[in-house]
Amino acid sequence: MYEIHAIRYGHLDRTATHNFIGGDPHDGPMPLDYYVWLIRGDAGTFLLDTGYDLATGTGRGRALVRPVEAGLAALGVDPASVRDIIVSHMHYDHVGNHDLFPLARYHVQDDEMAFCTGRPMCHAMMRAPFEARDVQAMVGKLFAGRVVFHDGESQLAPGITLHKVGGHTRGLQVVRVQTRRGWVVLASDAAHFYANWQQRRPFPIVDSVSAYLDAYLTIERLASSPAHIIPGHDPLVLARYPASLPGVPDIVRVDLEPVD
Ligand SMILES: [Zn+2]
Ligand SMILES: [Zn+2]
């Protein structure tokens, strides 16, 4: 059994039309939040994604609400104590802060490294959400013996499994975690918002639309119920789950029952 904390670190105000393939006819405000997820239990402490730092966020016009290291510190986590980091995919908002975790191994899908170091990056549209320095840093970690590759589905620890779904990027993986309320699926960018998944309207950064749609079926199959699926960028996650700490509304326990 694990506890899972969704730790917000960034924010972007924008409208709905930017969040769906084909836009949105209503186009009201639909901001994104940016999270990393801490998974903690008897088998150890695991981190899903590492966020972006101030320089990268500023360069892309994204607010850094709280540095990732500060969010972890609030939960009593020293970055040097993190031994396993799951990389959902290599986009800039999931794999920055390269030097923050000196002792961690990084768990990446084969297809994701091939995607971000290969032919698809010849296209400006495909490489836009990647930072070359993030990819270079991961290659450096590979040659330092700190990358663990996965292909498809694998178990990281008892009660924690990785599942490649693709769609958004070639090697996007989601994480299934055993909790007291059942199997929770951290969907990352397989579902930016509840609406992307529930309405079968993918986010407009895509490698394969059909794989993206299939990913919705996969996360539904892996989760104990639809209420066990945690989107990757939805501010509603903060509204629906109880705060991990008193007085800190943007770090929440998604292993507990929703409050809303
Ligand atoms: Zn992404
Ligand atoms: Zn993202």
Ligand index nearest the alpha carbon of residue 171: 1
Q: How far is the CA of 91 from the centre of ligand 1 (A)?
A: 5
Return the CA Rg of the chain. 17
Q: What is the pLDDT of residues 153-177, one digit of tens each?
A: 999 999 999 999 999 999 999 999 9
Instruction: From 74, 252, 259, 233, select the one nearest 168 (Cα to Cα).
Output: 233
Res 245: pLDDT? 98
Burial per residue of 109-122, b for 16 or more beta-carbon CB atoms within 10 angstroms, e otherwise: bebbbebbbeebee
What the block records as the tokens of 128 is 């836009």
pLDDT at 257 over 90: yes
Res 33: pLDDT? 98
Q: What is the pLDDT of residues 188-236, one digit of tens each?
A: 999 999 999 999 999 999 999 999 999 999 999 999 999 999 999 999 9
Q: How far is the CA of 258 from the centre of ligand 2 (A)?
A: 23
User: What whole-number distance in Å separates Cα of residue 8 and Cα of residue 64?
Assistant: 9
Res 199: pLDDT? 98
Work out the pLDDT band at 104, boundaries 50, 70, 90.
very high
Burial class (CB in 10 A: 0-12, 13-18, 19+), 5: buried
User: What whole-number distance in Å separates Cα of residue 147 and Cα of residue 157?
Assistant: 16
Q: How far is the CA of 67 from the centre of ligand 1 (A)?
A: 19
Q: How far is the CA of 76 from the centre of ligand 2 (A)?
A: 25
Residue with tokens 């969040």: 19
Res 80: pLDDT? 96
What the block records as the tokens of 247 is 């007085």
Q: Which amino acid is at 10?
A: G
CB 178 within 8 A of CB 160: yes
Q: What is the pLDDT of residues 82-96, one digit of tens each?
A: 999 999 999 999 999
Q: How far is the CA of 143 from the centre of ligand 1 (A)?
A: 25
Instruction: From 50, 53, 57, select the one nearest 32 (Cα to Cα).
Output: 57
